[in-house]
């Protein structure tokens, strides 16, 4: 079963995808936070693999990565944590990270272990299109993993169509060419999202970067199939002893 395709068949709009850093705020928090998100009504989870040099991430997510690494999180530890997670978490889960630690782990071994978990897809922002087509994409396909490319307001129409053709699952529309967590003028983003909508792309579109609360989520959903929230959720987990309660409150505030 392809959980991502199944989700978009059942639900066309208002898809809520939430990013959480594996091993944050505590090393053993990973699955409990994911379950709290699911139980609060999240449609999809983007599980970040902490890395010391995350190019696309702003200071809040960088700090969560630093903390998770200090807690002892590694890719091997993550796969150990995910061994039985499907007994509790049934929503689609995507691993988001960077090529360097994945290559150090071994790319095919990584895909095999992700599929065994089972994880549904991957986001690797620094994997170039050419390398995906010629080397890494066929390995992901062999293990049944979706791969999601990112596009920005500056991406040409030709390149958007190309990345849409290569992506499976959905297309990640970055709201602007900056790092995560920056405040965005969502009105300025509307033209870009309307342009994507008018292109009648193969994949559903989820908007990320700058989505932080109910108004920005609703605004993003007017022009796309849904949105991705990361920085604001990581902030909600800071300095709390009740991680599950904080997760539930955050999602309830967005969905209520």
Domain count, the chain: 1
pLDDT of residue 1: 61
192 by Cβ neighbours in 10 Å (0-12 / 13-18 / 19+) ranks as buried
> Domain residues for 241?
3-255
Q: Which residues are catalytic?
A: 46, 57
| Mean pLDDT, residues 70-91 taken together | 97
Cα distance between residue 249 and residue 246, in whole Å: 5
Return the CATH number at 158.
3.20.20.70
- Give the list of residues 6+ apart from residue 199 with CB closer than 8 angstroms, or none: 157, 160, 161, 164
pTM of the shown model: 0.94
**Of the candidates 217, 102, 196, which has an alpha carbon nearest to the alpha carbon of residue 150?**
196
pLDDT of residue 83: 95
User: Which H/E stretch holds residue 196?
Assistant: helix 186-198
Q: Summarize pLDDT for 145-157 with one digit per residue, the tens.
A: 999 999 999 999 9
pLDDT of residue 163: 98
Q: Summarize pLDDT for 163-207 with one digit per residue, the tens.
A: 999 999 999 999 875 545 455 566 667 889 999 999 999 999 999
Tokens encoding 95: 């691993």
- Residue 256 banded pLDDT, cuts 50, 70, 90: confident
């Amino acid at each position: 079963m392809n959980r991502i395709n199944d989700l978009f068949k059942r639900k066309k709009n208002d898809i809520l995808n939430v990013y959480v850093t594996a091993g944050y705020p505590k090393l053993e928090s990973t699955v409990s936070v994911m379950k709290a998100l699911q139980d609060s009504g999240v449609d999809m989870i983007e599980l970040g693999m902490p890395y010391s040099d995350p190019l696309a991430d702003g200071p809040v997510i960088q700090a969560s990565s630093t903390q998770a690494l200090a807690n002892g999180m590694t890719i091997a530890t993550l796969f150990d944590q995910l061994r039985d997670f499907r007994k509790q978490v049934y929503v689609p889960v995507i691993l988001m990270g960077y090529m360097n630690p994945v290559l150090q782990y071994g790319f095919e071994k990584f895909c095999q272990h992700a599929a065994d978990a089972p994880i549904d897809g991957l986001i690797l922002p620094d994997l170039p299109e050419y390398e995906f087509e010629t080397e890494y994409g066929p390995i992901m396909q062999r293990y049944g993993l979706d791969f999601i490319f990112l596009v920005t307001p500056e991406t040409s129409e030709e390149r958007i169509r190309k990345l849409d053709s290569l992506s499976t699952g959905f297309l990640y529309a970055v709201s602007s060419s900056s790092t995560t967590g920056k405040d965005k003028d969502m009105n300025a983003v509307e033209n870009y999202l309307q342009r994507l909508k008018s292109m009648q792309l193969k994949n559903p579109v989820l908007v990320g970067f700058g989505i932080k609360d109910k108004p920005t989520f609703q605004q993003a959903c007017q022009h796309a199939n849904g949105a991705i929230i990361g920085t604001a959720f990581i902030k909600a987990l800071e300095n709390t002893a009740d991680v599950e309660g904080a997760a539930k409150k955050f999602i309830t505030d967005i969905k209520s």
